[in-house]
Each structure stands twice: as structure tokens, then as C-alpha cells.
Structure 1
Amino acid sequence: MERFIDVTPEVRLWAEERGALDAPPLLLIMGAQTSGLGWPDELVDALAVRHRVIRYDHRDTGRSSWAFDEAPYALTELAHDATAVLDAFGIARAHVVGMSMGGMLTQLLIADHPKRMLSATLFGTSALSTAPYVRPDGTRVPPEELPGIAPHVLELWARPVEDHGLEAELDRRVEHWRALGGDELPFDAEAARDLERGIVEHTGHHTAGTAHARAGTADMLRTEQLAATDVPTLVVAAPADPLFPPPHPHHLAQAIRGARLKEIPGMGHALPHEVLAPLAAAILEHTDRH
């Protein structure tokens, strides 16, 4: 079932739920500039066997309001959008799964709204913490010295985004997913194109969004809150992630009190078919515990 949620006079969010209404709720929070349809149906359906699964379009993606130029916002406001979605569905507490920027927003929920959380699952993201990463040999590494984004991704992001029509935009998005997916699993260009064509049809246009890259990033750190949380947290490690490569997941698991770490071999910063079954299994094993 689909619905629209009015968050502010300027912002309306699109959301969808699947699964039994009396099943434990599970909220999916996608990454920057990506529609909720970035969560593949195969994964959503696998989770909906045991959960009431909700996915939604961030502001300036999909069918939600594209209003950044008229009403700029900080990234922290996107975490408030997540709680507004839960409110709209009448959900007091939920399991929350966040990918990339969605993983950062989930950390904000862990820190600022722990009573709304049954559990958290994070991947493809970095810790909102100044705590050092402690290597197995005891060496302490400041977060700013952890590996950065791969040069080939930075080069891709530096290119100007111009509108040369639908097919050219789909080409650009497929190239982007190829770069994000890493080099350990085969890349299915046709599947990536089908996903993005579906997102374009869902959105109603093929404009490339830039709002999340321009949104304010102040007040994101939650070092103390993450270190003291009681929210059961699973960190999924993606060894081929070119944005937040190891040891970022290990640092994240150290920064969040009590977090567990689960690696999915070959996984990059994307959701190809090969990782969906092990990812669903990891999420469901975690939510079953809590």
C-alpha cells in the first residue's frame, strides 16, 4: 500500500508498506539521492515474509517533494523525516535498516530516538563518531586517517551532470552503479538499467538530484550517544565497498556499544542479486534476536 505523508508545508514524502500489518515493523532508509525503490523488490519481499516493511522516498527523490531550492535543509532533518514516516503508519518502535547516507540517518535515530528503535542494521556507511579505530594490534587510528573514497568514484562524481535525455541519464546511472559495486562480483548492467528505468517511471522524470550533496552537514557527530546506546545493532561489512572500505565497518562496530559485525563476501556499495539472499538472512537473524 502506498501513501503520502506531509512533513512540513513544503515537504511531502512518498512511502510504501508490504507484509502483514501485525508483523514487527521494519523501516528501510536508503542512501543519498536514491529513491526508496533503490531497495530491490527481491529484498523487500524477502523481509516482508516476517516483517511489515516500509520504504520511502527521501526529500528530493522519487515521488517525494523536490523542494530544496525553495526550502533548504540539513541532513539531520532527514532523520526527522524517518520518524515522521513511522508516525504516519502508527508505529511506535521499529527495526531500522540503513544503507550509506541511510546508515548515517539510522545512527542519528539510535542516538536521538532510541525509544523508536527495536534494532538497527547498518552498512555502506561510516561512524558518526570521533572515537579512534583500534586495530587488532592495539594501534589507535583517528577516523580521519581511515581509507577515503576510491579515486575512480571521486573522478566520476567530479564530472558535470548534464541532461542529454533519458537514455544518456540511464547510461550515467548504470556507470555509477558499476563504480560503486566494487570489483569482486560480476556487474549486471541490464539489471542496473532496469532498476533505474523503474525509478524514473516512478519519479515521473529523469532529472538527476543534487540536494543531498548540498544539504548542511553540521551537528552530525554522536560519539557519546553511540558509545552508550542500548539499541541492538548489526553492522554489515562490505569488503569491496569503494566508499567506506574496511576497516570502516569495524570502526563503526567499535563505535556503537554492543554492535555485532557480519561480513558479506564480495559486497560493495550496491545491492546486486548476489548479495540479497545473504543480506536478508543477516537482517532477519538480527531482528529475530530482538
Structure 2
Amino acid sequence: MDRETNPQTGGLRRTETFVDVADGYRLWVETAGDPGRPPLLLVMGANTSGLGWPEELVELLSRDHFVVRYDHRDTGRSTHAFHERPYPVRALADDAVAVLDALRVARAHVVGMSLGGTLVQLLLLDHADRLMSATIFGSALLGGAAPDPGICDEDLPGPDPRLLALWAELGQERDPETELRWRVEHWRVLNGGVLPFDDEEFADLERRIAAHSGTWHSPAAHALADQSGMERGAELANTSVPTLVIDAPEDPVTPPPHATRLARAIPSATLVTVPGLGHALPLAIVPPLAATITAHTGRRP
């Protein structure tokens, strides 16, 4: 495992490394903060680099934790090889464990957003011994869950139609300027309708991700990956890991009451609402989100 130490940013110690996982894939991994603090693994959503976790959020979380974020397969600086070596979505959960193994982290707090929250549910089922706690937001309950007498399937709305239209264009070839406009518009819809949206804030994020990735190509591998083997929602009834489900009231991907349904399926779960939160992480939401996460990870069992 080759390690490169980065210059300190704002006094925050950071390191980068590459971790080899299954099927010949190599993942970019960054750690931030004091390795002596409790580890916290950030698991990002589909087709999104680990840089999707805002720098400001990493910095706030690192005051109490040794923070780890990484690029999924086929994102960022990790290996891009889906068309030659396809994999199921559930393999991405195994990658998260491989990152912990490579860093010699026996147990960690794990935070998952969107698809990352789906992967955290799989970790709760298959690797509970590796989790100190779990935090999930922007995610739906795994399929196959036991019926909920209070929330029927028809009570669970699907994604905003504007997102479905944008997702139909995933993976299309666009010149950098057009791709940047597409990504900013995508974030605008994901942000929801309450918090102000700053075009330049998200344009700057996407420029940094493109520089980090070395390409403006729009990743779409996770949308093509096999989704079988994840109809396991009923098994979450046996979960005892302290779990926080964050309700994002403005989420256009998994709108309410998705978070409530998920929390009710996990006996050890607590449901907390972060007002204004959608399916994006603008700077305005970072302080309350960080405070909500650290309030959970700081609890004693």
C-alpha cells in the first residue's frame, strides 16, 4: 500500500493512498485527522467521487474522528473498468470493508449517503462486527422488507421527474463546458427547494472533481451494475448496531417518508431531521449535518 503524505491544509493532517480490492480494481483513499481518534468512514453515493464529501464537512468531522473517504470503483482516481470487468452493486459494500482492512481499522463509525446508505445497510447485515455505529441519509430501505402497517408502498414517492430526465442522459459524451452545466443543473435539482443554491459553489466542486479524476467524462457504471442480491430489508430487523437515520425533508430522490420507513425497519435506529437537507451538500448544510453526525457517534453504548 503506497502512501503519499499531502501538505497540511489548515492544520489538518491528510494522507492519500491506493487500496487494491477485488477483480483488479484499485481505489483512491484519503484520510484526514489524528489516527488516534475514532475512525469514521464516509461512503459516497452512486457515480460520485469521494470529493463529493465537502472539505468543510471532512474538517469538522476530523475534530473528533480519523476521517476516511474514498473513490468508488469507476469514479475519481480509482480504476475505471466496468465495461471490461462488470460487478454487482453489492461488491461496492465489500470494497468499503477492504478499505478498512487496508488501513488496519478493526471497527469504524460509517456514514453513507444515497447509494452509500444502501451500502451501509449491507454492512449492517454482513459486517456488523466492523461497525461502531452507522449513519444513513438520502437512501431508501433495502427491498424485501417486512410490511409496515403505518407506511404502505404507495406512500413512498419516487424520484422527482426532473431527475429521471437528467439520469436518462448519464454517460453521454459532452464537451467539458456542456458537462459542467449538466452537472450544476443536476445538483440544483438535488439541492431541493429550500436552501439557496449557489451555481459557482457546485461548479467549483465539479472542476475539482474533474481535475482529481483527470476527465470530464460522466461516470454511469453504478447505474448499469447488477442490483441482484439486495432484497434483504427484512434482515435489518436483527440489527443491533447503533444507527442514525437522517431525514432529509427536501430530498427529491428519496422524499419523506422514506427515512421514516427505513428507521422503523431497524430496531436500533434513531430518526433525526436536518431541516432544509435535500440530496446535495451545500456549505449551508454542513455545520448542522456535522453536528448531527457527531452527536450520534459520540454517544456511549
1:131 Cα deviation from its structure 2 partner: 2.4
Alignment of 1:70-85 (within 5 A): 70-85=84-99
1:258 Cα deviation from its structure 2 partner: 1.9
Aligned match of 2:102: 88
Greater CA deviation, 11-20 or 155-164? Answer: 155-164
The TM-score, its normalising length taken from structure 1, stands at 0.95
Aligned match of 1:51: 65
Greater CA deviation, 8-17 or 70-79? Answer: 8-17
Match of 1:35 among 35, 43, 49: 49
1:281 is aligned to 2:291: yes
Alignment of 1:1-290 (within 5 A): 1-8=15-22, 10-129=24-143, 130-135=145-150, 140-142=151-153, 145-159=155-169, 161-290=171-300
1:11 Cα deviation from its structure 2 partner: 0.3
C-alpha distance in structure 2 between counterparts of 1:283 and 1:93, whole Å: 17
C-alpha distance in structure 2 between counterparts of 1:265 and 1:4, whole Å: 36
CA displacement 1:178-201 (0-9 Å, x = unmatched): 011111111111000000100000
**Contact between 2:171 and 2:217, CA under 8 Å: does it hold in 1?**
no
**AA paired with 2:100?**
L
**Contact between 2:47 and 2:221, CA under 8 Å: does it hold in 1?**
yes
1:159 Cα deviation from its structure 2 partner: 3.4
Q: How much is the aligned-residue C-alpha RMSD, in angstroms?
A: 1.3
C-alpha distance in structure 2 between counterparts of 1:222 and 1:146, whole Å: 18
Residues 41, 122 of structure 1: alpha-carbon distance in 2 compared, 3 angstrom cutoff: same
**AA paired with 2:189?**
A
The TM-score, its normalising length taken from structure 2, stands at 0.92
**Contact between 1:134 and 1:251, CA under 8 Å: does it hold in 2?**
no
C-alpha distance in structure 1 between counterparts of 2:149 and 2:134, whole Å: 22
**AA paired with 1:156?**
L
CA displacement 1:78-126 (0-9 Å, x = unmatched): 0000000000000010000000000000000001100000000000000
Q: Partner of 1:289: helix, strand, or coil?
A: coil
1:24 Cα deviation from its structure 2 partner: 0.2
Q: Alignment identity in percent? A: 54
1:160 Cα deviation from its structure 2 partner: 6.3
1:168 Cα deviation from its structure 2 partner: 1.3
**Contact between 2:27 and 2:73, CA under 8 Å: does it hold in 1?**
yes
C-alpha distance in structure 2 between counterparts of 1:186 and 1:247, whole Å: 23
**Contact between 2:246 and 2:271, CA under 8 Å: does it hold in 1?**
yes
**Contact between 1:122 and 1:234, CA under 8 Å: does it hold in 2?**
yes
Count of aligned residue pairs for this structure pair: 285
C-alpha distance in structure 1 between counterparts of 2:252 and 2:35, whole Å: 37
Gaps of 5+ in 2: 1-14
1:15 Cα deviation from its structure 2 partner: 0.2
Report runs of 4+ in structure 1 exceeding 3 Å deviation.
159-162
**Contact between 1:264 and 1:278, CA under 8 Å: does it hold in 2?**
yes
C-alpha distance in structure 1 between counterparts of 2:170 and 2:287, whole Å: 36
1:9 Cα deviation from its structure 2 partner: 5.1
Greater CA deviation, 67-76 or 223-232? Answer: 223-232
**Contact between 1:14 and 1:63, CA under 8 Å: does it hold in 2?**
yes
C-alpha distance in structure 1 between counterparts of 2:23 and 2:277, whole Å: 40
**AA paired with 1:39?**
W
**Contact between 1:132 and 1:251, CA under 8 Å: does it hold in 2?**
no
**AA paired with 1:131?**
A
Q: Partner of 1:118: helix, strand, or coil?
A: strand
Gaps of 5+ in 1: none
1:72 Cα deviation from its structure 2 partner: 0.3
CA displacement 1:116-144 (0-9 Å, x = unmatched): 00000000000114223443xxxx513x6
CA displacement 1:26-70 (0-9 Å, x = unmatched): 000000000000000000000000100000000000000001011
Q: Partner of 1:54: helix, strand, or coil?
A: strand
